[in-house]
A and B are shown apart, each in its own frame.
Chain A
Amino acid sequence: MKLRRSMLYVPGNAPSMLRDAHIYGPDSLMFDLEDAVSPREKDAARHLVFRALKDYDYEGVERVVRINGLDTPHGLEDIAAVVAGGVDAVRLPKTDGPEDIAEVERAVEAAEKRFKREPGSVKLIAAIETARGILAVKEIASASPRLIAIAIGAEDFVTDMHTSRSADGVELLTARSLLVMAARAAGIMALDTVYSSLGDEEGFIRELRLAKQLGFDGKSVIHPSQIALTHAVFMPSADELAKARRIVAAAAEAEAKGSGVVALDGKMIDKPIVERALRALALAGEASS
């Protein structure tokens, strides 16, 4: 199972950070051509990210590029550059509806053809950052077979909502829940927004726990120092893991016996519990037998 507990932002115009950002151990890298790059430098960052994708070995770590929206003069050229460079997934900002996904998909498809990449090989991630987008999240989540995850971008969203971010995140609760639900319904992943107060470790952990409890698969992070904490929170606890191992073993035993009923310590184990146990083991990087 591919994990996306952490997706590390790397500014697209910073050569020495682009070189080997995977060494900090994120599940995915996200090279940013959008907000991290000033309008004057879009072309230069695009060249750097193109070369980085093409020339550097990230040892198998997923490489996502956040492009500029297709409503800007940069979006189409971004897609050409990153598809040519060999990107794994394109992340579209400010997705308001399924038509945005369709438009990106057409451009990606054209670029795949142009640069002779296998059709359908470039995946998509949609970031939702407006009230409109959240209300269309169900349609967005199933807009393309290329779509592997949807993400919430909180800063723009709270601005759109005429509110601001608070410590407990109540202003985001509905949006987050709707987004996770849509992702689950569509069978794709749900990624939580960034936490930008780097010094506030407690607040960060609080938000990670909230995201995990709501069902998110992971979180975008803006600094390598956030990765270990993120993984720690999204990782099942030792107790959970021990229990999961016993449940999976019991399920395997039942299957070997040809029995449809899984029992552990004299109790019946429902199918969703086995599924959850398998997920926990996968998250911990343990092969589920």
Chain B
Amino acid sequence: MSGTRNQCAMPTHIPNYGPIEPFMGAHKAAEGSAKLFASLDAALDALGAHSGMTVSFHHHFREGDLIVNMVLEALARRGLRDLSLAPSSLSSVHAPLIDFIKDGTIRRIRTSGLRGPLADAISAGLMDEPILIQSHGGRARAIDGGELVIDLAVLGVPSCDERGNASGAFGRSACGSLGYAMVDARNAKKVLLLSEEIVPYPLAPASIRQDYVDAIVAIDSVGDPSGIGKGATRMTRDPRELLIAGNAAAAISAAGVIRQGFSLQTGSGGASLAVVRFLREMMVERGVKASFALGGITSQLVRLLEEGLVGALFDVQSFDLDAARSLASNPGHREMDASYYANPGLKGCAVDALDVVVLSAMEVDLELNVNVITGSDGVIRGASGGHCDTAAGAALTVVVAPLLRGRLPSVVDRVTTIVTPGESVDLLVTDRGIAVNPRRPELAESLRGAGLPVRDIDWLKRLAESYTGIPRPLEFDDRAIALVEYRDGTIIDLIRRPKGLSR
């Protein structure tokens, strides 16, 4: 059917209004299955995958992720070249990308984290262009702010309906929150979902909405469940980590943070997670409840929510299946996207409302700068994550680390790489004492008053060296292998190639 009787009568210009587009006939809505493609290749054809484009992924399947390798293999098979990869993070499972970098399929990478053989190879100079390390908030800022234009977001999801409403909370490979993917979905030029299950319309509530999704392909498996997450994150039983966690909680208490309605975030890592246990005891004892907890959510935080000790959880990434289940069933457990979480470029983000954050560290230096990206050998093996975002946002930033890991001191003259600047760190809690940022003398006073072992950071460094000896300085050559971006888009550090490593 085409044309109506109004058509000839309708002028194309209306006085005092301007030009108009006359009605040309009702377009029948596309068939429900129009977004469904039989194969990844068919979808890539339809979406116009091309050389030089920027492809993004999310890392909610963590070490279980099958999507990135699968898609890159398909793109390489099509003969595409010079791709820019913009995943929210990469891990050890992505070692096969080495070949796609070597053959020219991939030219550029920006990511929050990098580990395993791919990290080793890139540290040794595999890529011509240095990679860009972004924080979670910094990545969201770049995408929402239009600085990072994603041509194609390929988002693996445990389940979606045929119109593209997707959720991470349900299905065999449930990963909980899709917080990092949500930013990609709403900004990318094209969005392709790879889903393990296609459920009847409408899937609700949807993390990724149908109005952003261009194409869907059903695949057998998005990830290996054992790598996606365990049932519950086990509380550490390591006495050293418990000692650090107990001291951190005592310091937080001494700082006066544990009052009615306070808010908190704890990072991943044994000691950092264990702080929740000690805070919980204090909250129960004093009858204090927290208003909200943020960030990567674990079973310990879910328990606080269920006990009514925290009013709400805002979940950008669910670290275990308990968290995924809670997100699916508990209305107080809310999904949050990476911009809402930590984007410094919009009109407010959740980290700014944090009273306290507890973060892990690989190295901390005399200025309290923190490294969470390079190992003591200068090789990349970590993730920027939300480290600098939460440190900048929280009123009290607590970094926890054992004084030594094996023979490696955590407190050093100068960190190998700065990810979080010392000016945004208030406390370093170790198993041998607590260092306070000299800009917070009143905090040092409170901690001393509570009988906590406040130590000069330089004293901690010398104590570490009394065990290890003085480490030989690392040597690097001139080759830049990575730029470390601060959350606001400025470059805070440069990672050079350790001497002796070569392609």
Contacts and interface: CB of A to CB of B under 8 A. Distances in A.
A223 B240 CA distance: 11
B432 interface: yes
A23 B239 CA distance: 10
A224 B241 CA distance: 12
Contacts of B201: none
Contact of A23 (B432, B466, B467): B432
B242 interface: yes
Contacts of A224: 239, 242-243
A23 B431 CA distance: 7
A24 B467 contact: no
A184 interface: no
Contacts of B404: 19
A57 B467 CA distance: 10
A2 B239 CA distance: 25
Most buried by B among A23, A24, A223: A23
Interface residues of A, number: 8
Contact of A225 (B239, B431, B432): B239
A63 B110 CA distance: 53
Interface residues of B, number: 9
Interface string A16-34: 0001100110000000000
Contacts of B431: 20, 23
Nearest to B239: A224
A224 to B, nearest CB: 4
Nearest to B240: A23
Contact of A19 (B239, B242, B243, B467): B467
Contact of B242 (A20, A57, A225): A225
A224 B240 CA distance: 9
A23 B242 CA distance: 12
Majority secondary structure of chain B interface residues (helix, strand, loop or mixed)? helix
Nearest to B242: A225
A225 B236 CA distance: 13
Nearest to B466: A57
A20 B432 CA distance: 9
Interface in A20-71: 20, 23-24, 57
A20 B243 CA distance: 13
A268 B239 CA distance: 48
A19 B239 CA distance: 14
B244 to A, nearest CB: 10
Contacts of A225: 239, 242
A139 to B, nearest CB: 39
A254 to B, nearest CB: 33
Interface string B419-435: 00000000000011000
A169 B42 CA distance: 75
A232 to B, nearest CB: 14
Contacts of A57: 466
Nearest to A21: B239
A57 to B, nearest CB: 8
Contacts of B240: 23
Nearest to B244: A23
Interface string A216-230: 000000011100000
A230 to B, nearest CB: 14
B239 A223 contact: yes
Contacts of B466: 57
Interface in B228-249: 239-240, 242-243
Nearest to A23: B431
A19 B466 CA distance: 12
A131 to B, nearest CB: 35
B253 to A, nearest CB: 16
Nearest to A57: B466
Contacts of B242: 224-225
Interface string B444-474: 0000000000000000000000110000000
Interface string B238-278: 01101100000000000000000000000000000000000
Contacts of A20: 431-432
A173 B145 CA distance: 75
A19 B404 CA distance: 11
A154 B175 CA distance: 50
A23 B432 CA distance: 7
Interface string A198-227: 000000000000000000000000011100
Given A23-B431, A24-B243, 15 more contacts: A19-B404, A19-B467, A20-B431, A20-B432, A23-B240, A23-B243, A23-B432, A24-B239, A57-B466, A223-B239, A224-B239, A224-B242, A224-B243, A225-B239, A225-B242
| CB-CB nearest 10 A-B residue pairs | A224-B239, A23-B431, A24-B239, A24-B243, A23-B243, A23-B432, A225-B239, A19-B467, A223-B239, A225-B242
Interface of A: 19-20, 23-24, 57, 223-225
17 contacts: A19-B404, A19-B467, A20-B431, A20-B432, A23-B240, A23-B243, A23-B431, A23-B432, A24-B239, A24-B243, A57-B466, A223-B239, A224-B239, A224-B242, A224-B243, A225-B239, A225-B242
